[in-house]
Amino acid sequence: MRQINYKCVHMGEIKDIMAIYFEKQSVYIKDCGEAKLENVKLIQDTGLKDKHGHHIYEGSILRFRDTFYDKNMDDTYTTHNFGVVKYLNNRFTIMDFERSGAVMAMVREEANSILVDLLNTSEVAGHIYIGR
């Protein structure tokens, strides 16, 4: 069984959580101290890393290679696309694509093995909760 890891977004930065106190509705943040849950956003680790070894969290913005169809040229081309990692229906997925491409179609069909390969070959370009 995999360990579920969380971090939090606090004051515009992703921080390590040392403890979550549900009775007090607070978290203890490494190098910051205690903060109320209402003042932080908890983000869950997917358990996967990008191609540079960075952890992929819920809310990570991923940059990846994607294939697109150009109907004017009646041909396909490959370039970069962006999407956001979200937890939906008891699994991680990619949503909010910058453009509609082949990856979006595969994700909608719930091709999990393709999604895991995509996550492992993508790179974290930012995070939705810290504005990068």
CB count within 10 Å of CB 107 equals 18
Residue 106 pLDDT more than 70? no
Q: Quick one: pLDDT at residue 24?
A: 93
Partners of residue 119 on adjacent β-strands:
none
Which CB contacts under 8 angstroms, 24+ apart, belong to 34-39? 35/8, 35/10, 39/10
User: Could you tell me the pTM of the whole model?
Assistant: 0.79
What is the per-residue pLDDT for 61? Answer: 93
What pLDDT digit, counting tens, does each position of 25-59 carry? 999 999 889 999 999 999 998 888 899 999 899 99
Question: Taking a C-beta distance cutoff of 8 angstroms, is the pair 84, 59 a contact?
Answer: yes
Per-residue confidence (pLDDT) for residue 4, from 0 to 100: 76
Q: Which residue has the higher pLDDT, 77 or 83?
A: 83
